[in-house]
Structure 1
């Protein structure tokens, strides 16, 4: 058994969440339901127009390892923040959950980039529209990857959003090489259909050659395999991967091995805010894997964790996830 169950690598961000009407999105040119990268000026503009917000450490892979930490798994995180106010908030929050976070901060006087942040605009139907200023998180590079820490992990979990940025893919290549040399398994979340379009060839090569477990939602897996047929997309994934977990919203998820596909129902939680649903699904699923559960149980754990996080504002659980798993007969 290795000292770390899962090490996540991704964009270290602070989420700023606020409720808005659809009219706000239209008036401010925000495309609903997706993640849009913005520059510092646009981030300041949107922040000034938003109503009261809730600030919490975020970023996709960070949310996943935070969920794992809350479940008691041995988790670690690699992501870049600056030695500024938001960077201190991020580091404190993630460490308080028992997650190891040792990535060196960018120095306070090291350049104009600040700690990244994501304005998460939650509309009345619970859909979230994300406007992300990557800031210094985009500078994460190979020098930030500790090969010994990767080798000490049972899994690494790679965030597709990190394919953006000048050195993100090089950092991933270094992490994957260290993982493969040490028998560490590789999980990838593709993160967003538009992210796939920006980096299709890089995604395809990594999935074909290096990934053991793929996380995607229905729109993402269709975009990845260029088809409108979900079954065809899952079959394509099966031809390349040992394990694929595809979420399908209120219907739950499909968990595909090389040989079969298992349909797992969603939980019955009401949807208040979809922020972090995929991230916490991955947390529950990975927790099941490191605890030795079968893939159907892993899918159910993922659905329960996702269901909990959509029942309130914010991407961090507010209920005891282990208690939810026990109530469902999973522990």
Structure 2
């Protein structure tokens, strides 16, 4: 079978309601007037990664559970509008949704509706196998029920990446993802010094590359046993929202990796895409294009890694 999918994305489809608030944490009050409006749009972590990959010219397909509801219709429309293949599995509990409170500095607080997942949710094994056989690479989101698909991906012999997001280094839920992926992304926000957790991931699992993103401080790259600091990139416009920055980083990193770039260069491209994402309001779903990414990366070639 031909590999007609560059990246298969598993999980992470859903809808967010965006509320711009005057500050975070939000002090208690009986009510707040939201002049900027309250908007609902498709786009959670898997959607953002898929949109980012497709914007960079990679043939992308997304598999997840979706409800037969207005939120599911928004997700389907997003993929249709961006030319992304989508295979859906019926979810009687409904499509995932969340509320994101976004502060003036772009930080966010997310409230996830966990009633829209069930412990016995599953992605059909035959569907996972068939799509994995067509894919060059699979990016697995940590949403339920993607952990159950990891052994099937190993059987398929396809490379795997995942994003642990704000893992604290201890929560056992994340361990199957951390230990069964070739490339592991995570946020340094909850780790203090991220190096011990990064090295544990590499030692206990299959990861040959571990990347901890650190926002305005750049990122930490562990590859071939060597830890390298990746400088932050100045955003091309004012920062309005950090939502989706990590997903943009992952998409651009994978774009570089699938084009044969060394890990440090992939990480620099990730930093460029993440900085771009911070300039896009949460009410929109947009991603940096390939030409712009490569042009900015060429301009940043002279910036050396931080030892």
TM-score (norm: length of structure 1): 0.78
Question: How far 1:135 sits from its partner (Å)?
Answer: 4.9
Structure 2 distance, partners of 1:296, 1:128, is 28
In terms of mean alpha carbon deviation, does 275-284 or 311-320 score higher? 311-320
Question: How far 1:50 sits from its partner (Å)?
Answer: 6.0
In terms of mean alpha carbon deviation, does 75-84 or 122-131 score higher? 75-84
- 1:78 equivalent to 2:63? Answer yes
Structure 1 distance, partners of 2:287, 2:128, is 32
Equivalent in the alignment of 1:65: 50
Equivalent in the alignment of 2:305: none
Q: Decide whether the 8 Å contact of 1:156 with 1:185 is kept in 2.
A: yes
Question: How far 1:58 sits from its partner (Å)?
Answer: 1.1
Question: How far 1:212 sits from its partner (Å)?
Answer: 0.8
Equivalent in the alignment of 2:197: 233
Equivalent in the alignment of 2:175: 204
Structure 1 distance, partners of 2:257, 2:20, is 35
Number of equivalent positions: 291
Gaps of at least 5 residues in structure 2 are 302-307
Equivalent in the alignment of 1:131: 111
- 1:213 equivalent to 2:183? Answer yes
Structure 2 distance, partners of 1:102, 1:151, is 15
Question: How far 1:306 sits from its partner (Å)?
Answer: 0.7
SS in 1 for 2:189: helix
Q: Decide whether the 8 Å contact of 1:20 with 1:121 is kept in 2.
A: yes
Equivalent in the alignment of 1:37: none
Gaps of at least 5 residues in structure 1 are 30-45, 223-227
- 1:157 equivalent to 2:139? Answer yes
In terms of fraction of residues, the more helix-rich structure is 1
Structure 1 distance, partners of 2:153, 2:212, is 24
Equivalent in the alignment of 1:192: 166
CA, structure 1 residues 218+151, in 2 after alignment: closer, same or farther (shift >3 Å)? same
Question: How far 1:262 sits from its partner (Å)?
Answer: 2.5
Equivalent in the alignment of 2:38: 53
Structure 2 distance, partners of 1:28, 1:69, is 42
CA, structure 1 residues 24+216, in 2 after alignment: closer, same or farther (shift >3 Å)? closer
